[in-house]
Chain A
Amino acid sequence: MHTHTQDTDTERKWDAASRTLDIVSFAEDRRIGPHKRRLFAKMRGATLMVAAGTGNDFKFFPPNLHIVSIDISPKMLERAARKAAVYSGAIELRKMDVCNLEFPDSTFDTVATAFTFCSVPKPVIGLRELRRVLKPDGQLIMIEHVRSAIGPLGIFMDFMTPLTSRIGPSLNRDTVGNVQKAGFRLRRVENVYLDVVKIIEAVKGDAA
Chain B
Amino acid sequence: MLFSIGDYLAGVLIGVATTLAVRALVWPGMDMVIGMLIGMAAGTVVHLLLGFILAPLVGMFETMVPASLIGMYGGMLFGMRDSMAAGSLTLTSAATVGAIFGAIVVLGVKVYNRILQGAVFEANN
Contacts and interface: CB of A to CB of B under 8 A. Distances in A.
A24 B119 CA distance: 28
Contacts of B91: none
Interface stretch (A6-14, A65-73, A95-103, A193-201): A193-201
A153 B70 CA distance: 11
Which range contains the number of B residues in contact with the other chain? 20 to 34
A188 B123 contact: yes
B85 interface: no
Contact of B72 (A150, A156, A192): A156
B121 A189 contact: yes
Interface in B1-25: 3, 6
Contact of B60 (A25, A186, A191): A25
Interface residues of A, number: 28
A197 B118 CA distance: 11
A26 B58 CA distance: 8
A116 to B, nearest CB: 15
B72 A31 contact: no
Interface string B52-79: 0001111111100100110011000000
Interface in A145-167: 145, 150, 152-153, 156, 160
A105 interface: no
Given A185-B123, A194-B109, A24 B55 contact: yes
B107 to A, nearest CB: 14
B98 to A, nearest CB: 19
A189 B61 CA distance: 19
Give the 8 A-B CB pairs with smallest separation, nearest first.
A189-B121, A27-B59, A28-B59, A156-B68, A31-B59, A190-B119, A26-B56, A191-B116
